[in-house]
Structure 1
Amino acid sequence: MNEPSRLPVFDAGMCTEDMEKMMRNAQEASNFLKAISHEGRLMILCHLASGEKSVTELEELLSARQAAVSQQLSRLRLEGLVKPRRDGKAIYYSLTDDRPRQIMEVVYDLFCRDDD
């Protein structure tokens, strides 16, 4: 049996305050989805879901140039999805909260998990 939907029920009688909040949330969700819609950024988030990584580690994991990795990290930082930490000359990145990890789990389940 299907689980009940957790999506909100829209009704014509919603107050203006509720509609404004829904619009703000929709904008935030849209920005989040745009930020993760690039395959390079998606792969970075996948790697960071397992823990903090240096820029050098990400370059190696992605087989990408430093400039490309830095550009994608910059966008993820701008959207508030990753945060840097400097240790000497090295810069390490980690997820800012659990949202990207939760999305990565769903994406993995939908696109990567083998159906046994």
Structure 2
Amino acid sequence: MMKNADKACDLLKSLAHPHRLGIVCRLIDGKASVGELAEFVGLRDSTVSQHLSLLRKDGIVTTRREGQIIWYSIKDDSARRLVELLHSIYCKNRKEGK
């Protein structure tokens, strides 16, 4: 039981920063480059790269290189499901004007 609680806490810690959560929210829609993610969250590429490095170290995102572009996508299914749940609660209401 405590092992699962530790895993859940680690996931929540990784996503507990607004920019990292925003990055993973964007990745719900599919792969993205650093530049695309930087534009989405409104940060410089270098700052987004630092956040991605942490998310990658924590096993939440993975990479795939195509030529000079590195594509990021969600690796951890638990993270995907958690962010989808948060999206359904917070982003759906925003679209409806609530």
TM-score over 0.5 for the pair: yes
CA distance in 2, matches of 1:80, 1:24: 16
CA distance in 2, matches of 1:24, 1:98: 17
Residue aligning to 1:47: 26
Residue 28, structure 1, aligned to residue 7, structure 2: yes
Residue 96, structure 1, aligned to residue 75, structure 2: yes
In structure 2, the residue corresponding to 1:80 is in which secondary structure?
coil
Query: 1:86: how far off?
Result: 1.0
Residue aligning to 2:41: 62
Structure 1 residue runs of 5 or longer lacking an equivalent are 1-21
Query: 1:53: how far off?
Result: 0.5
Structure 2 residue runs of 5 or longer lacking an equivalent are none
Higher percent of residues as helix:
2
TM-score, structure 1 as length reference: 0.75
Count the aligned residue pairs.
95
In structure 1, the residue corresponding to 2:30 is in which secondary structure?
coil
Give the greater-gyration-radius structure (CA). Answer: 1
Q: CA RMSD in A?
A: 1.5
Q: Is the 8 A contact 1:49 1:100 kept in 2?
A: no
TM-score, structure 2 as length reference: 0.87
**What is the identity, as a one-letter code, of the residue corresponding to 2:82?**
I
Larger RCO: 1 or 2 (CA < 8 Å, sep 6+): 2
Residue aligning to 1:73: 52
CA distance in 1, matches of 2:75, 2:62: 6
Q: Which runs of 4+ in 1 moved over 3 A?
A: none
CA distance in 1, matches of 2:57, 2:82: 18
Query: 1:110: how far off?
Result: 2.6
Identity of aligned residues (%): 42
Moved more, 64-73 or 94-103: 94-103
CA distance in 2, matches of 1:24, 1:103: 18
